[in-house]
């Protein structure tokens, strides 16, 4: 059997548009997929955190992947989120996605219950021994049991079907430790970062690509950053990384995740609809304010027109000093929570 191509490049964690009834808007989802592929993303990643997988039923998750597979028609590989509530249902999801011809699945460590490294290993070992499709480990310790480096190394050596890890911790040194531990014995093993703010430094440290929420909003920028970094055009890559960081921080810290990203995709011309997470009138007002800020940021790259009334010359003027202070405080608080500062 011909070996599968190594997972690499930018995989977009797909948002899902809703219709007026709060159901999956299939025509708009298909249009969005075509646009992402045309803009140069290397692959698609449905049913991830950005795609709000916990807010869909298992049947809806399967339907989302089936729609995307049908629309993609093999133009780019698909890495499908396959995490279900328990190992049996997760293996069933693996079997279904394999039947669709999906390239690989991503599976988050067990969530809700905080498990020991031994239990995390046993969970993925059960999946690795019984899956018909390649598996990407998904490390997101802010939401699920962490997957530590010894566990990743052991699974990579014992399970041929476990072929990659997607790390969304934002912990650069720890991902370097993963690469250092695994790559000598599994050179085919892929390392993908889910933290947009660290895309360039992790590519330079040996990562193969990313699953970056920003690529669903500005696929042109994330693809450009990847290409510049991989071709060692580092000064220009650094400038793109700084721009991407500013946009990413604004989208992720100025609203409940992933509403900032949904608002930004609306500005790129897609009808995303009202999300399934209820919000207060104050939160809806905040999103409207955020949308204007994002429109100003996107207009600087020619992705949108400026809002009516124009934009301030600098982000601090546009946001106001109190708003900037709040964003900074949220960023610092998040980094403290992750023990990164």
pTM (2 d.p.): 0.88
Q: Which of the following is catalytic: 32, 97, 121, 138? A: 138
Reply yes or no on whether 18 is catalytic: no
Check if 166 is active-site. Answer: yes
Nearest to 81 by CA among 156, 13, 4: 13
What is the structure's pLDDT at 315?
Answer: 44
89-140 pLDDT, tens per residue? 999 999 999 999 999 999 999 888 889 999 999 999 999 999 999 999 999 9
In the chain, the domains with their CATH numbers are 9-338 (3.20.20.70)
Q: How much is the pLDDT for 323?
A: 52
The encoded tokens of residue 304 equal 């949108």
Per-residue pLDDT band for 328 (boundaries 50, 70, 90) equals low
The one catalytic residue in 166, 224, 226, 242 is 166
Average pLDDT on 138-157 reads 95
339: confidence class by pLDDT, cuts 50, 70, 90 = low
* Mean pLDDT for the chain overall: 91
pLDDT grade for 318, boundaries at 50, 70 and 90: very low
Per-residue pLDDT, 313: 55
Note the pLDDT tens digit of each residue in 26-71: 999 999 999 999 999 999 999 999 999 999 999 999 999 999 999 9
User: pLDDT band for position 262 (50/70/90)?
Assistant: very high
Q: Would the annotation count 57 as a binding residue? A: no
How far apart, in whole angstroms, are the C-alpha atoms of residue 241 and residue 256?
Answer: 23
């Amino acid at each position: 059997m011909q070996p599968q191509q190594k997972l690499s490049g930018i995989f977009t964690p797909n948002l899902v548009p809703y219709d007026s009834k709060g159901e999956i808007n299939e025509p708009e989802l298909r249009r969005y997929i075509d646009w992402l592929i045309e803009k140069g993303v290397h692959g698609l990643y449905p049913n991830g955190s950005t795609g709000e997988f916990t807010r869909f039923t298992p049947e809806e998750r399967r339907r989302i992947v089936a729609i995307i597979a049908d629309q993609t028609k093999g133009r780019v590989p698909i890495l499908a989120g396959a995490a279900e509530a328990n190992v049996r249902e997760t293996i069933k999801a693996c079997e279904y996605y394999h039947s669709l011809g999906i390239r690989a699945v991503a599976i988050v460590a067990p969530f809700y219950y905080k498990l020991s490294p031994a239990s995390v290993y046993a969970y993925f070992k059960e999946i690795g021994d019984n899956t018909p499709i390649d598996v990407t480990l998904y490390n997101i310790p802010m939401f699920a049991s962490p997957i530590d480096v010894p566990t990743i190394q052991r699974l990579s050596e014992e399970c041929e079907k476990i072929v990659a890890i997607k790390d969304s911790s934002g912990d650069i040194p720890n991902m370097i430790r993963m690469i250092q531990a695994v790559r000598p014995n599994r050179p085919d093993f892929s390392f993908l970062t889910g933290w947009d703010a660290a895309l360039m430094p992790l590519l330079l440290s040996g990562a193969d690509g990313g699953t970056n929420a920003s690529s669903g909003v500005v696929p042109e920028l994330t693809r450009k950053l990847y290409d510049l970094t991989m071709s060692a055009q580092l000064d220009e890559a650094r400038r793109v990384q700084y721009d991407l960081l500013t946009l990413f921080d604004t989208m992720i810290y100025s609203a409940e995740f992933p509403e900032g990203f949904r608002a930004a995709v609306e500005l790129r011309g897609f009808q995303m609809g009202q999300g399934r997470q209820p919000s207060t009138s104050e939160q809806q007002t905040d999103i409207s304010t955020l949308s204007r800020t994002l429109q100003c940021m996107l207009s600087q790259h020619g992705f949108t027109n400026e809002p009516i009334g124009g934009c301030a010359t600098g982000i601090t003027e546009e946001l106001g000093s109190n708003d900037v202070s709040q964003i900074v405080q949220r960023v610092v608080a998040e980094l403290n929570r992750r023990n990164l500062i």
